[in-house]
Amino acid sequence: MSLKDKLDELHQRGLAEIKKSTDLKDVNQVRVSLLGKKGPITEVLRGMRDLDAEERPKVGAFANEIRDDLTAALAKRREELENAILNARLANEKIDVTLPGTPVAKGEPHVIQQIIDQIEDLFLGMGYQVLSGPEVEEDKYNFEMMNLPKNHPARDMQDTFYITKEILMRTQTSPMQARTLEKHDFSQGPLKMISPGVVYRRDTDDPTHSHQFHQVEGLVIDKHITMADLKGTLQVLAHELFGDKFDVRLRPSYFPFTEPSVEADITCFNCGGKGCNVCKNTGWIEVLGAGMVHPNVLKMAGVDPDVYGGFAFGVGPDRFAMLKYGVDDIRNFYLNDVRFLTQFTKKG
Amino acid sequence: MKISYNWIKEYLDLDVKPADLAEKIERTSVEVDDVVTPSAGLKKIVVGHVLSVEAHPDSDHLHICQVDVGEDDPLQIVCGAPNIAKGQMVIVALPGSRIADNVKIKKSKMRGVPSAGMICALQEIGFSDDVVPKEYVDGIYVLPADATPGDDVYDYLGMNDSLIDLDVTPNRGDMLSLNGTLRDLAAIYDKPVTLDQPEVKETGDAIADQLMIHADADLAPQYRMRLVKQVKIAPSPMWLQIRLWNAGYRPINNVVDITNYIMLKYGQPLHAFDYDKFAGQDVYVRNAKAGEKLTTLDEGEHDLDDHDIVIADDQAPIALAGVMGGLTTSITDETTTVAIEAAVFEHDHIRKAAQRHNLHTDASQRFERGVNRAGVQDALDAAAEMMTDLADGAVQTGTAVGSDNVPEPAVIPLSLTHVNAVLGTDLELAKVVHILESLGFKVVTAGEDMTVTVPIRRNDIHIPADLLEEIARIYGYDELPTTLPTGRMTMGTLTSAQKLMRATRHSLEGLGLNQAISYALTTADKAKMFMMHSSEETNLAWPMSVDHAVLRMNVVTGLLDDIAYNTARKVKDVALYEQGRVFYREDGNDRPSEEEHIAGAITGTLMPAGWNQPAKDVDFYQIKGIVEAYLKDMAINGDVTYEANTDMPEMHPGRTADILVHGHRIGFMGQVHPTTAKKFKIGATYVFELNLQAIIDMPKQENQYDVISRYPAITRDIAMLVPDEVTNDQIVALIEKRGGAFLQSVKLFDVYDGVKVPKGKKSLAYTLTYQDKHETLVDDAVTQAFEKVEKRLQDDLGAEIR
């Protein structure tokens, strides 16, 4: 048998043994037995000494070829077996992906805060400042400078928690109008502000009344502000809070600090304006009060009403939240049942 | 005020449905609460003629009636009303009918006797108890004798009318009357309206010989009386009763009904006195005297003082002016001479009197808003005229006038440019003038300038802005353009304080706490718990309840109330934070100062048990971790330290720490004292409260880049036994101070205080990490530094290195 034939046979036998190997240990043994220092191929190569000088390189090359092929076959078999082992392990590691995820601690902003933030962001984008004032106010700012002198009948509309005759819990965020007007330097540009905050009324708490609730006051004063601007601004607000398909309409009303005074209604979101229980079949829901700032308010704050004028509006975030989410009891906002607080999780 | 659609139509030629009219009023004038047609929802309710009435054999109060309802055969109806009688025309709910509250009437048997329907009281077909004439309150109603059996009853009772309930704002006193509403509607629909003019027939003697009025014009700018003799008190005719009950008034008798009717029509409250009960012929309008008393028509007794305005005769008060008449001089069935009072009282006095005596009447409501001072005589004449027509009265000649003070009408300059500049419109002069004239205002124009004279009845209009509202509402708010303010640009940015408050909320939410908003008004006890420094409390003068009577001086108690609310509802795991104000007051100041605080409270577990992890109840170190993470987010530029505080009465003495920045206390945290927790009915709860204003005001560390060392770090662990009194802070401070230049961090990894440690000692173990930013550290350098630390720990803190 020639060396070449011997190599051929070794080659075939080696491939067969590799194929037969069933685990990594087998593969290793096959490798050692075929390619090891004492293995048959080494032995064959050792026998090359007896060959002609002419034959030697040919057989040498052939032997290398066979060794490379067997090495590759071994590597391939090793990879196959490794893969099989890995796959078996992975199959074993299968889990139920429908089991719930591990809980993480996560808190939510209060729903009223969310509405206030939304209003703030809208008006910041339109160049308004956000100002907050004291919750304990002077009668002067809460009422008198709002054109509600003592004994004004409209004071009855707002039952007040007094601390002393002159000091009270603010019943509205409007006092910030007067406080800001007093200070504003119109040579630096128009006054555009909103003032969110907590307000207090002498009410007994029930599903629709709370002695504490929120308000966002808005005020724009410049030389050429119109009632049409008020209408447009309220429309932007309604679209931001409720959606573009909501319309705004104005109705006459009365507030001592605005003239003309209006209430603004928006399309009923329960029925889309067709008429239902929620909107008492009118298709509209009252959401806020507004108007053109009364000249007396400007005058009392030292602003010339013949030169400057503008609009003001007051929004109730509690009412908005109740309407928007169908909250049936205003007390939910202040009792802080965690099951209530964690319902409003949508961000953005 | 409920206003009748049919009554309006008598004067105005309108082709609109009641609901549309109401909508128009709401859009243009005043709010409308609702529109009601009393017959709506009722079915098969007809006139019945009672042919016979027999006693029920098995009942002491039921009657068996045969009732003609316009069909071939009479119906047999069992009736329990005490006032049923043969020959009456009655209200019959036929079998299959629907009466009030959607109740269906069927044929039935009553104590064995078949009954085909029901004879009804007014309440049973939807009338309020308050408007049913007294004689019919406890029985069935008897219709006029000329009613036709079988006819629907609705028209007989005015129930097919529609009633529009106006919610009149305080400025529109003029709308509290038919005439005022008609004037507004005339402008809204741009149609002419002609109002009735009274025509009095004076047939008696001169009033001056019978009545003399002495009125203080400051109290009553208008005070007039007429005298009507020989009146015959009787029920009012049906049409008048219908007007009244549809407006919400109970018909009483012709004289009283006329006064109410005139008030509805003219907006002028009237009062009818029984003249014969006067002591003397003189009537005084004056302040009450201390000690005087008056029993009003409703039999309420009132102690008067000099703030009250009274009408008095020679001896005593006979009416609380503008609010309610007195009982002694009231109209009775025996009255023959009526003194009709028409007056205007000073609104401020009336408002206060109504409040003081808790007596809010339709009259006081109108006087508070202001009554037309130029229309007093008309209303008085109209009432006198009706007393002639309906009570055969003889009106005495002349009017007794106690005061006659009519203000000058308001004359207001207005320019077209101003109108359009404020409304954002492009109205023409003619349009503006037309709108104002349609409201009954007089307009004189000079170019684009107008001079507007306002009728006295519109006492709400004084300045150009008031006219703008009139123009805008009549022109229509829907017609206004929709624009946004233009002009100089302004920046809309949050202040740094506002940004920090937002960041505070986001940080705490990220740390697992839900935002709560609790009540700032609380009990006196809670207001002064968990105080961070001493302060006077601020009390409400007239709280609604003790639960909300004092301004809080801490935020934590509100959160504990919230936890109690959750606990009571079996919600065990609660993690809340609140950002809000506390109110500190210095002695001598009425007004407290307001300080922003941030507080948190956790009970149960922050992370609920899952199927793959057990719940871990909140402890001190978890709340501390939250506070630490939050303060890190706020990037306070300075050392934050925590010192045990054993002295807060509401806090666990061994588990409470003060939170200090640069040595200044800005808050506290720890476990609520079990006794306090018990008071709130809550379980173990951990809280913190921080002065947020202080955090806002502190200097902040700006973000900056620090090179991350490319060279390896070397760590050394050290475990030691120290006496119990030695704190972690002391050890860490010492290690940091003596650790050498390359010490990067000191991390506690074990605390052991168990049986293997001698009593009075504890074991602490730390990992010290060393690193050089510029080259690889040599082991020797670390060993040297580490040994130095070991020695200091032994020497300074008595540590036993293990």
- How would you write B39-93 as a 3-class SS string? CCCCEEEEEEEEEEEEECCCCCCCEEEEEECCCCCCEEEEECCCCCCCCCEEEEE
A105 is a domain residue: no
Report which of A128, A182, A181, A175 is spatially closest to residue B495, judged by C-alpha positions: A128
CB B404 within 8 A of CB B375: no
Q: Are residues A218 and A76 in the same domain?
A: no
CB B71 within 8 A of CB B150: yes
Q: Are residues A126 and A162 in the same domain?
A: yes
Q: Are residues A256 and A292 in the same domain?
A: yes
Which A-chain residues 210-269 have CB contacts (< 8 A) with chain B? Answer: 211-212, 220, 222-229, 231-233, 235-236, 249-254, 259-263
Q: Please give the Cα distance from B75 to B50 (Å, whole number).
A: 10
Q: Are residues A41 and A74 in the same domain?
A: yes
Give the best residue of A251, A308, A347 to mutate against chain B (max B CB count within 10 A): A251
3-class DSSP state of B556? helix
Q: Please give the Cα distance from B42 to B101 (Å, whole number).
A: 9
Q: Are residues A178 and A72 in the same domain?
A: no
Which architecture characterizes domain B411-479 according to CATH? 2-Layer Sandwich (3.30)
Is A212 within 8 Å of B488 when comparing Cβ atoms? Answer: no
- Predicted confidence at residue A156, as pLDDT, reads 62
Chain B residues with CB under 8 Å of A220 CB are 485
Q: Could you tell me which CATH class the domain B2-35+165-189 is placed in?
A: alpha beta
3-class DSSP state of B577? strand
Chain B residues with CB under 8 Å of A335 CB are 562, 565
Q: Are residues A177 and A322 in the same domain?
A: yes
Residue A182's CATH number: 3.30.930.10
Give the pLDDT band of residue A59 (cuts 50, 70, 90).
Answer: confident
Any idea which residue has 């028409």 for tokens?
A: B342
Q: Which residue has the higher pLDDT, B192 or A41?
A: B192
Q: Please give the Cα distance from A161 to B242 (Å, whole number).
A: 43
Of A161, A254, A338, the CB nearest to B574: A338
Task: List, as residue ranges, the binding site of B for Mg(2+).
Answer: 460, 466, 469-470
B178-189 vs B254-266: helix crossing angle, rounded to 10: 30
The dihedral of CA B119, B123, B126, B131: what is its sign? positive
- Predicted confidence at residue A157, as pLDDT, reads 56
Classify strands B31-36 and B202-206 as parallel, antiparallel or unpaired. unpaired
Give the pLDDT band of residue A80 (cuts 50, 70, 90).
Answer: very high
Helix (H) or strand (E) holding B271: strand B270-274
The dihedral of CA B181, B182, B187, B189: what is its sign? positive
B429-438 vs B178-189: helix crossing angle, rounded to 10: 160
Q: Are residues A84 and A230 in the same domain?
A: no
Q: Does A299 touch chain B (CB under 8 A)?
A: no
Amino acid found at B639: D
Dihedral pair phi/psi, residue B667, rounded to 5°: 170, -170
Tell me the sheet residues that pair with B54.
Answer: B64
CB B433 within 8 A of CB B447: no
Q: Are residues A72 and A176 in the same domain?
A: no
Contacts of B46 (CB under 8 A, 6+ apart): B69, B70, B91, B92, B94, B149, B150, B151, B152, B153
Task: List, as residue ranges, the binding site of B.
Answer: 460, 466, 469-470
CATH fourth-level superfamily of B496-697? Bira Bifunctional Protein; Domain 2 (3.30.930.10)
What are the C-alpha distances in Å from B210 to residues A280, B255, B283, B287, B523?
55, 20, 11, 24, 63
Of A108, A128, A335, the CB nearest to B509: A108
Q: Are residues A167 and A204 in the same domain?
A: yes
Q: Please give the Cα distance from B159 to B157 (Å, whole number).
A: 5
CATH fourth-level superfamily of B43-143? Nucleic acid-binding proteins (2.40.50.140)
Report which of B383, B394, B69 is spatially closest to residue B228, judged by C-alpha positions: B394
Average pLDDT value for chain A: 90
Q: Rounded to 5 degrees, what angle do the CA atoms B500, B501, B503 make?
A: 60
- Tokens (6 digits) for B158: 């005015």
Range of the domain at A316: 111-341
Chain A residues with CB under 8 Å of B514 CB are 107-108, 110, 336, 338, 341-342
A48 is a domain residue: yes
- Tokens (6 digits) for B242: 């219908």
Q: Please give the Cα distance from B421 to B415 (Å, whole number).
A: 10
What are the C-alpha distances in Å from A161 to residues A142, A200, B190, B465, B540?
12, 7, 45, 31, 6
Q: Are residues A144 and A67 in the same domain?
A: no
Domains of chain B by residue range: 2-35+165-189, 43-143, 202-404, 411-479, 496-697, 714-801
Q: Please give the Cα distance from B405 to B222 (Å, whole number).
A: 6
Of B170, B483, B562, the CB nearest to A229: B483
Instruction: Kindly tell me if the per-residue pLDDT of A1 is higher than 70.
Output: no
- Predicted confidence at residue A22, as pLDDT, reads 87
Q: Does A157 touch chain B (CB under 8 A)?
A: yes
DSSP B300-357: -EEE--TTSEEEE-SSSEEEETTTEEBSTT---TT---EEEEEEE--HHHHHHHHHHT
- Tokens (6 digits) for B2: 């409920």
Q: Are residues A124 and A212 in the same domain?
A: yes
ipTM of the complex: 0.88
Count Cβ neighbours within 10 Å for each residue of A108-135 and write b for 16 or more, e otherwise.
bbbbbbbbbeebbebbbebbbbbbbbbb
Give the best residue of B490, B500, B537 to mutate against chain A (max A CB count within 10 A): B490
Give the pLDDT band of residue A153 (cuts 50, 70, 90).
Answer: low
- Tokens (6 digits) for A136: 């304990």
Residue at which a domain ends, from A29, A63, A92: A92
Amino acid found at B514: N
3-class DSSP state of B748? strand
Q: What is the CA radius of gyration of chain B?
A: 41
The torsion defined by the Cα of A272, A275, A281 and A283, in degrees rounded to 10, comes to: 40
- Tokens (6 digits) for B319: 């009416």
Residue at which a domain ends, from A40, A64, A92: A92
Per CATH, B2-35+165-189 and B411-479 having the same topology is answered: yes
CATH fourth-level superfamily of B202-404? Phenylalanyl-trna Synthetase, Chain B, domain 3 (3.50.40.10)
- Predicted confidence at residue A35, as pLDDT, reads 83
Contacts of B276 (CB under 8 A, 6+ apart): B335, B336, B337
- Predicted confidence at residue B707, as pLDDT, reads 85
Q: What share of chain A has pLDDT > 70, as a percent?
A: 98
CB B529 within 8 A of CB B676: yes
**pLDDT per residue over A239-287, tens digit each?**
998 888 888 899 999 999 999 999 999 988 788 888 888 788 888 888 8
**pLDDT per residue over A327-343, tens digit each?**
999 999 999 999 999 99
- Predicted confidence at residue B68, as pLDDT, reads 96
Chain A residues with CB under 8 Å of B484 CB are 126, 229, 232-233, 236
Q: Rounded to 5 degrees, what angle do the CA atoms B417, B25, B132 make?
A: 150
What's the whole-model pTM score? 0.87
A182 is a domain residue: yes
Is A212 within 8 Å of B489 when comparing Cβ atoms? Answer: no
B123: alpha, beta or left? (left if phi > 0; alpha if psi -120 to 50)? alpha
Residue at which a domain ends, from A92, A121, A139: A92
Give the pLDDT band of residue A6 (cuts 50, 70, 90).
Answer: confident
Is B480 within 8 Å of A138 when comparing Cβ atoms? Answer: no
Listed in sequence order, the DSSP H helices in B121-162 are: none
Q: How far is A326 from chain B (nearest CA, A)?
A: 19
Q: Please give the Cα distance from B283 to B285 (Å, whole number).
A: 7
Report which of A234, A228, A237, A226 is spatially closest to residue B479, judged by C-alpha positions: A228
Give the pLDDT band of residue A121 (cuts 50, 70, 90).
Answer: very high
| Average pLDDT of span A16-31 | 88
CB B683 within 8 A of CB B617: no
Length of chain A measured in residues:
348
Of B469, B490, B594, the CB nearest to A259: B469
If one looks up domain B714-801 in CATH, what number appears? 3.30.70.380
Q: Please give the Cα distance from A296 to A293 (Å, whole number).
A: 8
CB B320 within 8 A of CB B308: yes
What are the C-alpha distances in Å from B574 to residues A101, A337, B555, B567?
21, 9, 16, 9
Question: What total number of domains does chain A contain?
Answer: 2
Helix (H) or strand (E) holding B599: strand B593-603
Dihedral pair phi/psi, residue B496, rounded to 5°: -65, -35
- Predicted confidence at residue A246, as pLDDT, reads 86
Ranges A64-68, A217-221, B553-557: which has the least confidence: A64-68
Q: Are residues A66 and A136 in the same domain?
A: no
Q: Does A51 touch chain B (CB under 8 A)?
A: no
- Predicted confidence at residue B85, as pLDDT, reads 94
Instruction: Kindly tell me if the per-residue pLDDT of A57 is higher than 90.
Output: no
Which class for B274: exposed (0-12), middle (13-18), buried (19 or more C-beta within 10 A)? buried
**What letter would DSSP give residue B159?**
T
Residues in chain B predicted with pLDDT less than 50, given as ranges, are: none
